[in-house]
Amino acid sequence: MYLEHFGLKLKPFNITPNPKFIFLSKNHKEVFAHLLYGLQSRCGFIEITGEVGAGKTTVLRTLFEELGDEEFKLAFIFNPSLTAEELLLEICREVGIETGEHRGGQLFPLINEFLLAENQAGRTVVLVIDEAQNLAASVLEQIRLLSNLETETDKLIQIILVGQPELADVLNQFNLRQLNQRIAIRYHLQPMDQDDSAEYIKHRLQVAGAEDRSIFEETAITYIFKHSGGLPRLINIIADRSLLTAYSENHEVVDRTDVKKSIDEQERNVRRPKASPGFLPAAITVLLVLLVGLVTYLNLSDSTVSSVAATPAPPASTEATATAEPATPRPGLPNIPVDAIRNELATSEESATFRQAVTALSKEWHVEFLPQLPAQFKSTQFLNQLKLSGWKWTPYYGDFPAIERLDTPIMLELILPGVTGRRYLAMIGQGNGSIEIAPSIHGESVLARDSIAALYSGKAYIMWRNYLDIGYYSTLGASSPDVREIQNLLNETGRDLAITGVYDKHTVLGVTHFQAENALVQDGRVGPLTLLLLYQKSAHFNPPQLSR
């Protein structure tokens, strides 16, 4: 929307990685050098940590471009929820090993044979595992066993573990000491300093087509650095919102007031949690506040992989707010302590709770393909069939009141203290301070709302139907029959838009107002959550709701 106003050809501050915009600060160059040295010297294990949004993915992409196919073979694993067996299968898929019916321990000889062949061909196999702090202990042990594959002189596989600072704590556990002792190179990626942050902003503007890199005043850049802590992702979010604010005010350049206003607007719409002591207080506060902007980008693609989305803004209307407040529990609800609920869930297998939860969601949506799956189907089998059958599966990150406001059946991911792996609960009903769940706990399928809220980890998954197969829209001026459908759906919610089929300013404004009314991020972009709620509010569709 602001590109022409500022003389830009591309959006300069997208948070989805784009090789054109890669900028290596002093810290990024240093971690890159550590990675390259570790691989070339065949050290075996490398650990890279950094805060959310510090630029770890940028470094990895630069590394991948640097490593030639003639010398290196890459396997990139970005799903930390895999089991030990699924990890081996995923590695085989990444490097092109035919597994046939081989499973479990049978996969090791296949991988070893492949690694030996690559070694004889003069190529180094590199396994990169992102979000490694979320790996279960059993999976980390499997990774350690992989590192045992070697010749008399060389390690056959080089392993890079990439994650948030918590990864160091995970590896320091006593039961993982053998793996921890094998890590030869460790590096923690620090945020950029003020000089690099300023150059980062100007670099991205120049790549985006700006003839003058001074679109942001120096005071504005200083303010962005102060409130981002030098984290590239936060800089992108703040800078993008500031450009939009300056455009709406018809300013030729972005000044400090524009930046402050864009941050203040987000702070008014999001309940600000307390910052964790010891970690970049200013940065973490704004991260929690402005991470709502991530939904803009996550909305543009459906994935079964975790991705960082956002906590939706509180609702703009008192009616919506009322649904977010926990109601007084209805009389007669079972009084099961939270610890007792945790203990029962801990006795269930992760895969079993997944099956029971998605089966409950499938019944709510009247999914018909379940009988085609094996009785003990795996998560990958379900998700593959879900996609083939035209359903959507959207990861969601947000607080519990935000889930209640969405009012759609959802699968909650639970992390139990001292228990490896995840557990899952389907949330299929709500009302009067109670939540209907599956699987049942202690024989009860309806529990107190606050008990379920206490278990929730902050991550969930939404199954939904894109009834009209509408694409996701964010580009002003885009023209498509899908836009006509969006305009029709908006008009059903009380708008009065002309049905033009063009994603014009009136449509963007209509989308923004709809998002405000439904406590979504007000970005004017149509993505999964906006579409889901448009269908929910329409008189022509009848998607299941929690408050049925």
Q: What is the DSSP string of 227-253?
A: HHTT-HHHHHHHHHHHHHHHHHTT-SS
Residues facing 444 on adjacent strands: 441
Residue 519 confidence (pLDDT):
79
Residue 238 confidence (pLDDT):
93
Residue 241 confidence (pLDDT):
92
Give the CA distances from residue 347 to residues 195, 231, 257, 351, 352, in Å, rounded to whole numbers and listed in that order.
Answer: 53, 40, 55, 12, 10
Residue 502 confidence (pLDDT):
93
Residue 527 confidence (pLDDT):
84
Residue 231 confidence (pLDDT):
92
pLDDT at position 218 over 90: yes
pLDDT at position 528 over 60: yes
For β-strands 72-77 and 157-163, DSSP reports them as unpaired
pLDDT at position 303 over 60: no
Task: Identify the residue whose tokens are 């008990």.
Answer: 451
* Segment 245-267, tens digit of pLDDT: 999 889 999 999 999 998 888 76
Q: Which fold has domain 26-189?
A: Rossmann fold (3.40.50)
More confident residue, 295 or 458: 458
pLDDT > 70 fraction of the chain, expressed in percent and rounded: 86
Give the H/E segment covering residue 215. none
* Segment 22-50, tens digit of pLDDT: 888 999 889 888 888 888 888 889 999 99
Q: Which fold has domain 481-537?
A: Muramoyl-pentapeptide Carboxypeptidase; domain 1 (1.10.101)
Mean predicted confidence (pLDDT) in 485-508: 93
pLDDT at position 511 over 80: yes
Per DSSP, the three-state class of 141 is helix
Judged on CB neighbours under 10 Å (0-12, 13-18, 19+), 206 is middle
Residues found in the chain: 548
pLDDT at position 301 over 50: no
The CATH number assigned to the domain with range 318-464 reads 3.90.70.10
* Segment 60-70, tens digit of pLDDT: 877 776 776 66
Mean predicted confidence (pLDDT) in 396-411: 89
More confident residue, 282 or 15: 15
Mean predicted confidence (pLDDT) in 92-102: 80
Mean per-residue pLDDT of the chain: 83
Residue 285 confidence (pLDDT):
47
pLDDT at position 312 over 60: no
pTM for the full model?
Answer: 0.49
pLDDT at position 6 over 70: yes
pLDDT band at 316 (very low <50, low <70, confident <90, very high): very low
pLDDT at position 441 over 50: yes
